Structure formats: C-alpha cells, structure tokens
C-alpha cells in the first residue's frame, strides 16, 4: 500500500469516528423546550424584580427618599442572592429558571459568592478573596472604564 492510499484509509477512519461521535452526541444532548424555558425565565426574572420593587416601596414607605430606597433595595437583593447561594437554593432556582435568575442583580451576587464558596478550602486570601474577584473584577473594570468614557464624552458634548 502506498502513502497516498494509507492517508485515504486514515481519513475514512477519522470520518467514521467523527460521524459516530456526532451521532452519540446528538442522542445524549437533552432537547430544550425553548418556549417553556423562556416562560420560566420571564416569570422568575419578573418575580425577582417584583421582590426588588417591594423592597423599594417598603423603604420609601418608612421614610427613605427615592434614591436611598433604590440603593437599599439593591443592597437587600444582593444580600438575599448571596444568602440563597450560600445555603444552596440559588443554584436550584438557576437550574429551573435559566437566564431569568442570571440577569437581575441577584445573579451577580450569585456569580461572586459561588466561586468564593467553592474555593474556601484554599484559604481566605487565595481561595475566597481571589475567586470572588474572578467574576467581580472584570465587571468592575469594564463598568468603571465605560463610565469614565461616557463621562468624558458627556463633558465634551456639554462644553
């Protein structure tokens, strides 16, 4: 058998392996119910926002101004998201709701707390502290960076 025939034989074997892999993969991947998933995400995300609005109204009713009430409601939602992550409930909500649990501010709290909990055995500095900023770091960098850029643009527009 010459070199060219050997290469063709190897290519055919490789194609068979790829085809078999694709067949097995298609059989094992769970089928998604797109409409149902969207409805669950919408309902859970909306419920989280309703809870936030409840806290906002509560803080305004006990005497805080609109801006302070919004800040306190955000802090409360972050605390609730972190607490639910710590006791293992937020992951179950995420499994059920998908993106509906990720988009609100509670999803950010979950994404900061979850790695910290996972790596707590590595210590407070290299485990909890370092892994907490794995997610929070880029968010803060891009958030602050984009706010500086928008501020500069706003400054030059208003001159």
Distance CA 25, CA 41 (A): 26
Average pLDDT over residues 57-68: 96
- The pTM assigned to this predicted structure is 0.62
Q: Which two tokens stand for residue 129?
A: 């502290």
- CA 127, distance to chain mean position in Å, is 20
Distance CA 24, CA 150 (A): 49
Residue 127 has pLDDT above 70, yes or no: no
**Element at 98 (helix H, strand E):** none
Contact by Cβ (8 Å): 138, 144: no
Average pLDDT over residues 15-20: 83
Q: Which ranges in 30-65 belong to alpha helices (H)?
A: 34-61
Contact by Cβ (8 Å): 55, 72: yes
Block residue for tokens 């400054």: 155
**What pLDDT does residue 126 have?**
65
Domain boundaries along the sequence of the chain: 1-31, 33-158
Alpha-carbon separation of residue 18 from 10, 25, 30 (angstroms): 12, 10, 20
Residue 125 has pLDDT above 70, yes or no: no
Average pLDDT over residues 96-101: 85
pLDDT tens digits, residue range 66-98?
A: 999 999 999 999 899 889 988 889 889 988 988
R_g over Cα of the chain: 24
């Amino acid at each position: 058998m010459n070199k060219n025939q050997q290469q063709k034989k190897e290519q055919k074997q490789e194609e068979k392996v790829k085809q078999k892999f694709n067949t097995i993969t298609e059989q094992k991947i769970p089928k998604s119910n797109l409409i149902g998933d969207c409805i669950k995400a919408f309902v859970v995300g909306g419920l989280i926002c309703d809870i936030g609005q409840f806290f906002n109204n509560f803080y305004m009713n006990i005497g805080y101004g609109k801006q302070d009430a919004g800040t306190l409601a955000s802090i409360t939602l972050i605390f609730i998201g972190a607490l639910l992550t710590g006791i293992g409930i937020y992951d179950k909500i995420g499994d059920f709701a998908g993106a509906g649990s990720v988009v609100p501010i509670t999803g950010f709290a979950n994404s900061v707390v979850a790695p910290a909990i996972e790596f707590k055995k590595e210590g407070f500095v290299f485990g909890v502290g370092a892994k907490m900023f794995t997610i929070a770091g880029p968010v803060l960098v891009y958030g602050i960076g984009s706010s500086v850029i928008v501020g500069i643009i706003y400054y030059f527009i208003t001159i």
